[in-house]
């Protein structure tokens, strides 16, 4: 079911299996993480999306050159927004299948967790 027809969040070329929202950068506006899938496990071809509202328009932060290396390229199963340290700073945690779990932080720096099923994605 497409619930975003005609909006900037519509993404007809990708298949979403999860979504989470949270204020990643503390500006009072929630960012939206869309977990996309194109394979059952391991490396995938299309990235997830991380939408942020900027000047009234949605921007996919993972499509920006400075963040492209941070995009999740592994088959995910779920995503949530979490304050890992209790400091009020949130990140998005992605549970992957066939690769490491990942956290996208406010600095958009990818943090790798020790918990993983297999290593096929970096």
| Residue-wise burial string across 28-59, b where 16 or more C-beta atoms lie within 10 A, e elsewhere | eebbbbbbbbeeebbebeebbbbbbeeeeeee
Question: 50 to 109, contacts with Ca ion by CB under 5 A?
Answer: none
Is 29 one of the binding residues for Ca ion (CB under 5 A)? yes
Q: Which of 9, 25, 77, 89 binds Ca ion (CB under 5 A)?
A: 25
Q: Residue 75: what are its φ and ψ, rounded to 5°?
A: -60, 115
Quick one: which segment of 15-23, 41-49, 67-75, 107-115 binds Ca ion (CB under 5 A)? 15-23
Binder of Ca ion out of 16, 18, 23, 103 (CB under 5 A)? 23
């Amino acid at each position: 079911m497409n619930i975003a027809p005609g909006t900037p969040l519509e993404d007809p070329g990708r298949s979403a299996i999860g979504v989470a929202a949270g204020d990643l950068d503390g500006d009072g506006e929630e960012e939206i993480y869309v977990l996309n899938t194109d394979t059952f496990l391991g490396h995938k071809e299309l990235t997830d999306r991380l939408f942020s509202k900027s000047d009234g328009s949605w921007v996919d932060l993972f499509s920006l050159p400075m963040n492209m290396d941070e995009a999740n390229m592994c088959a995910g199963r779920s995503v949530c927004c979490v304050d890992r340290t209790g400091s009020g700073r949130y990140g998005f945690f992605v549970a992957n299948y066939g690769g490491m779990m990942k956290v996208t932080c406010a600095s958009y720096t990818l943090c790798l967790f020790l918990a993983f099923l297999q290593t096929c994605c970096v």
